[in-house]
Amino acid sequence: MSGSSSKSCSGNPSQPHLPLIICPRCGRTRLITNVQKKDGPKKGKRFYKCPTEEVEGSCRYFAWEEDYTAMLDRITDSTLAFQHARSPSSNDQVTAAQQPQAVRNDNLTKKWGTPVQMDDGWCAYVLDMLHKRVIVLDPMAGPLGFTNERITIHGYTSNLMLNEFFRCVRKMFKNWSCDTNGWITRYPIIMTEHFPSQHSGLCMSYMLRNFDGDKLVNPLTQESFNMHHQNTLYEVTRLEGNISKTPADALEAIMTAFHVL
């Protein structure tokens, strides 16, 4: 499908209990409806369907309520698991950084993670404020680890980032005596599989959500990558106030993700 065509990606506020904004089979942007069976041996049992009377050429998607709910539970559980893996104080850190001369809170400043775009893909630098170390999370390093060339590149860019970070800290916060002296850079080998550069962005976001300071709480495998991909698509479409026009090829990818789930 061409990326130039588009479909609306807005949901139906009158049905907030339905997290899907598209049919999981045909990708139509209308919410599928909850219906009670009126006859037959399963009379009174509820099911979900893609609109068939109102929409010409509907795919006639059908799922019993328990099957449909189970699918949504899998999506929700995975999303909550990824959200739980994030730093619980990330919102507080942003709020503090937006307030000039904010007072430092040690509980909120132990680790800072930031995405970095390199020539061959995305990586992330985690600043461990407690142990004064920069931890490089680079999906492109692979399971064999960092080459000397890659270590040189990351050493240079991480030093630049560290200096600029502390420059911002001194400007935004008061009573925080910090400097770049004594900092070290770590290059942990946490990848168990190879991933292409076009997947480095998703790999990087997965690492930031699952890195505990020493290792990935949940290893990055092809299976966990696919689940993270599906949840990322789901989270993007569920952003509050999202009324954007989504390219048809993106909707097709989201539809495929729901098929897998």
**Burial class, 154, CB count within 10 angstroms (exposed 0-12 / middle 13-18 / buried 19+):** buried
Compute the distance between CA of residue 252 and CA of residue 250 in angstroms, rounded to an integer.
5
pLDDT of residue 253: 66
pLDDT of residue 94: 37
Domains of the chain: 6-85+238-260 (no CATH), 90-218 (3.30.310)
Compute the distance between CA of residue 120 and CA of residue 53 in angstroms, rounded to an integer.
50
Residue 153 bridge partners (DSSP): none
pLDDT of residue 48: 73
pLDDT of residue 138: 94
The pLDDT profile of the chain, 261 residues, written as one tens digit per residue, is 333 333 333 333 333 344 444 455 555 544 455 667 677 777 778 777 766 555 555 566 677 777 767 665 554 443 333 333 333 333 434 333 443 333 444 434 477 788 998 888 999 999 888 888 999 999 999 998 899 989 999 999 888 888 888 888 787 777 666 777 889 999 999 998 999 999 999 999 999 988 888 888 888 999 889 888 888 877 777 777 777 666 666 667 666 656 555
pLDDT of residue 70: 67
pLDDT of residue 65: 77
pLDDT of residue 187: 93
pTM for the predicted model, two decimal places: 0.53
pLDDT of residue 89: 38
